[in-house]
A and B are shown apart, each in its own frame.
Chain A
């Protein structure tokens, strides 16, 4: 066998003179042995790329030692300021216990692939099954997948599921005025392919009312979405009434929330939610510039329309209980253009971290954390309200993790000055700031209050 060519690309020269990737174990003599077994004279011969499109350049990327690379990136990242973050609006930080890092970094977990061979991936499958079970308990719904990318894409998937389930065609998804613009944009893209649009309903002093839903809804609406807590930090108060209103219609009720809030708040299943979406990485992942874990749970009757991976129970040939990915005929690798979603790679490893964090807390720890998330913002708001020029909270509602405050001088200036003092808060407009406080930053509350006093003085 002879595949001789006369190609001499820059790549070939480099190949001859460099050590190449440190993550390939070949010695030079092994390369020669392998080439001779193949019947080729050089590695370049194995590339069947027409010369006209062969790349003969060289990327302007220098290789570096591990130590140099670490130093370089550490230096780059040190350009980030490191304020104490009092930021929330849909992205929340809680203290992540050390066990989460240590276990999730075990290479059997982090270096494994999707569980296509369940006989040798029982460990991860069981973790994902336990994750699904955790979410089933928290949402009061029978099915949770494992997982979507983030809260926004989970909402998009919910809307396409709602459209598939409709008996008659419908073309609108209703969302609250408080929905983050970014999430709305993602949702609009998801529903556009199904020829649907997104419209907004107004809320009443921060919460959704039956009247506002009734005003906005018609037969064309396939899904109504609400969030509790809202991105403004307010706990919705009329969920059960809204649930019964929607129950009588051919319209799905999608509720956005997160595992910490759901530990104490009304069970979505009991208030009539058909789907729950949100960001589950509030447990398990520190602030990661918006990288998340899309929570997706729904009623059992939608089983065959669920997007994403599902782990189920089975038996091996000895009759031992075991776990496996199941109902894969819904998925893209089998169903292709008729799949329930295009998702393949998801956030499984983040789900592992979330599951460990939740298990670490246990039900009593989760409930205690959630209670703290209710208590801390109310306490902080009360303290800030005593400062001249500050009204906090703006709304007389039940808060979770965060609240909005009205400032007399320009809110943006105040936020900027606070930032200079090492505190990052949201400035929403000229009058309004928003402050998020959890177990992660509670120890800095006294400093923040002092700083606000200084700035407002």
Chain B
């Protein structure tokens, strides 16, 4: 099966993606990850202002058959969360890289430690 792995993003081994725009970063989970989980029924995300370490648990996604913890790909402060996914968790299945984003951070570090699209494709 072919999964979408957009070239402009970087990826964590735990299947989160990260997009850098104007110094802020946006985080979600990959097409591969949403497919593995199946229909997502519930999402729990942090609050604005929360400080996260790299690799720290920032939330949970739950499908009918599995629960996955979400890990922050970089350290930083939460500046926004996507409230739409609380009411419509299916956005994560339908549009993992776009409408199904999860949170935005003001990062306190770069993204060099993360996987490139090529490296992530190899992993999945």
User: Which A residues have a C-beta under 8 Å from some C-beta of B?
Assistant: 304, 328-329, 334-335, 338
Contacts and interface: CB of A to CB of B under 8 A. Distances in A.
Given A329-B65, A334-B65, A335-B67, 12 more contacts: A304-B42, A304-B44, A304-B62, A328-B64, A329-B62, A329-B63, A329-B64, A329-B66, A329-B67, A334-B66, A334-B67, A338-B67
Nearest to A330: B67
15 contacts: A304-B42, A304-B44, A304-B62, A328-B64, A329-B62, A329-B63, A329-B64, A329-B65, A329-B66, A329-B67, A334-B65, A334-B66, A334-B67, A335-B67, A338-B67
A124 B34 CA distance: 33
A337 to B, nearest CB: 12
Interface residues of B, number: 8
B114 to A, nearest CB: 27
Interface in B56-105: 62-67
A304 B62 CA distance: 10
Nearest to B42: A304
Interface string B27-68: 000000000000000101000000000000000001111110
A304 B63 CA distance: 12
Contacts of A328: 64
A282 to B, nearest CB: 35
Nearest to A339: B67
Nearest to B44: A304
Contacts of A329: 62-67
A339 to B, nearest CB: 10
A410 to B, nearest CB: 59
A92 B106 CA distance: 60
A328 B66 CA distance: 9
Contacts of A334: 65-67
Nearest to B63: A329
A430 B11 CA distance: 74
Contacts of A335: 67
Contacts of A304: 42, 44, 62
Contacts of B62: 304, 329
A334 B64 CA distance: 10
A334 B44 CA distance: 18
A338 B62 CA distance: 14
A115 to B, nearest CB: 15
A335 B64 CA distance: 12
B42 to A, nearest CB: 7
Contacts of B64: 328-329
A63 to B, nearest CB: 45
Contacts of B67: 329, 334-335, 338
A329 B65 CA distance: 6
A301 to B, nearest CB: 12
Contacts of B63: 329
Closest 5 CB pairs of A and B: A329-B67, A329-B62, A335-B67, A329-B66, A334-B65
Contacts of B42: 304
A334 B63 CA distance: 11
A328 B44 CA distance: 17
A335 B60 CA distance: 13
B92 to A, nearest CB: 16
A9 to B, nearest CB: 43
B20 to A, nearest CB: 32
A264 B21 CA distance: 61
Nearest to A329: B67
Contacts of B44: 304
B45 to A, nearest CB: 14
A332 to B, nearest CB: 13
A309 to B, nearest CB: 15
B25 to A, nearest CB: 27
A456 B63 CA distance: 67
* Residue from the set A328, A329, A334, A335 with the largest chain B CB neighbour count within 10 Å: A329
A248 B62 CA distance: 31
A328 B42 CA distance: 12
Contacts of A338: 67
B41 to A, nearest CB: 8
A329 B62 CA distance: 8
A353 B62 CA distance: 34
Nearest to B60: A304
Nearest to B67: A329
A328 B67 CA distance: 10
A168 to B, nearest CB: 15
A137 to B, nearest CB: 26
A329 B42 CA distance: 11
Nearest to A303: B42
A457 to B, nearest CB: 68
A349 to B, nearest CB: 26
A334 B65 CA distance: 7
A272 to B, nearest CB: 25
